[in-house]
Amino acid sequence: MSKKTLTISIISIIILALIGGGAVWYVKTQKQEFNNPAEEQENNEPQAEVLEKNSEDNESILKKAGEDENGWNIYRSEKYGFEVKHPNEFKIITWPIISKERKATGEEYSIDIVPIKSMSENYTDDNFISIDVMNNVWNFKSADEYIVQRLSSQASEFGVVKKENYILNNISGKKIMMDGMYGPYTLFLFQKDNYFYMLGLYSKDKKNIIELKSFAKVADEIINSFKLIN
């Protein structure tokens, strides 16, 4: 083998080694980037909905204020100015995390009152009562305007079947019969100052008629125990 041929061979080997080393480095670099999603998430917009916790602890927003003569638990929120009662067979579930998107639409505080025996991750498939407190960020002048702008005009999941005037503990408001993708339900809407209070009555478990009638009776009493204070 001539000196020229030997030199060419050595140079070729060096070039191949550099190419091979570069390829190994590239593969390792890509693998590290692929296996480090946290680092990637820092550089990109978050995919999940951005959530925001209530600035106050739930216990400071809604406190137990005692029991009534029938042994029902009385809960009161000084911050949002309302009171509601429920029997021991029910429990309050609060929603401590509210998305920024929902806050932008005025939602500030939300609770569900649920039969304890149906307590599970999927309790919303059963019967329950909800209370939502919403800041009037739209400057609606009345409950009627809220219904037209926020309920009647929402996605096809919702539909106002009927509405009527309703007075609850000297609060004038609206009773709204709705038809949603999960069946009919009833809303009660009241306004005080810059807040709307919306109570929802959801009777979803229709298999057990006796159980449904029992829930409906207690649910009506829970709804009727709601009052605005302050």
Domain with residue 176: its CATH number is 3.40.1000.10
Q: Could you write out the DSSP letters of every residue in 107-130? A: EEEEEEEEEGGG-STTGGGS-EEE
Q: Could you write out the DSSP letters of every residue in 58-115? A: HHHHSEEEEE-TT--EEEEETTTTEEEEE-TTEEEEE--EEEHHHHHTTEEEEEEEEE
Q: Clarify whether residues 131 and 155 are in a common domain.
A: yes
Q: Clarify whether residues 169 and 112 are in a common domain.
A: yes
Q: What is the pLDDT of residues 95-139, one digit of tens each?
A: 766 677 777 888 889 999 998 876 555 655 678 999 999 999 999
Q: Could you give the CA distance from residue 108 to residue 176 in angstroms, rounded to a whole number?
A: 21
Residue whose structure tokens are 């991750």:
121
Q: How many domains does the chain have?
A: 2
Q: Clarify whether residues 19 and 101 are in a common domain.
A: no
Q: Clarify whether residues 88 and 189 are in a common domain.
A: yes
Residue ranges making up the domain that contains 72:
51-228
Q: Could you give the CA distance from residue 204 to residue 158 in angstroms, rounded to a whole number?
A: 16
Q: Clarify whether residues 30 and 113 are in a common domain.
A: no
Q: Clarify whether residues 122 and 169 are in a common domain.
A: yes
Q: Clarify whether residues 28 and 94 are in a common domain.
A: no
Q: Clarify whether residues 222 and 128 are in a common domain.
A: yes
Q: Clarify whether residues 100 and 178 are in a common domain.
A: yes
Q: What is the pLDDT of residues 213-229, one digit of tens each?
A: 888 899 999 999 999 99
Q: Clarify whether residues 133 and 223 are in a common domain.
A: yes
- Give, for all 230 residues of the chain, the pLDDT tens digit: 555 555 555 556 555 555 555 544 443 344 344 344 334 444 443 333 333 344 455 567 899 999 999 999 999 999 999 999 999 999 998 876 667 777 788 888 999 999 887 655 565 567 899 999 999 999 999 999 998 888 875 544 557 888 999 999 999 999 999 887 667 889 999 999 999 999 999 887 666 666 778 888 999 999 999 999 97
Q: Clarify whether residues 157 and 186 are in a common domain.
A: yes
Q: Clarify whether residues 95 and 38 are in a common domain.
A: no
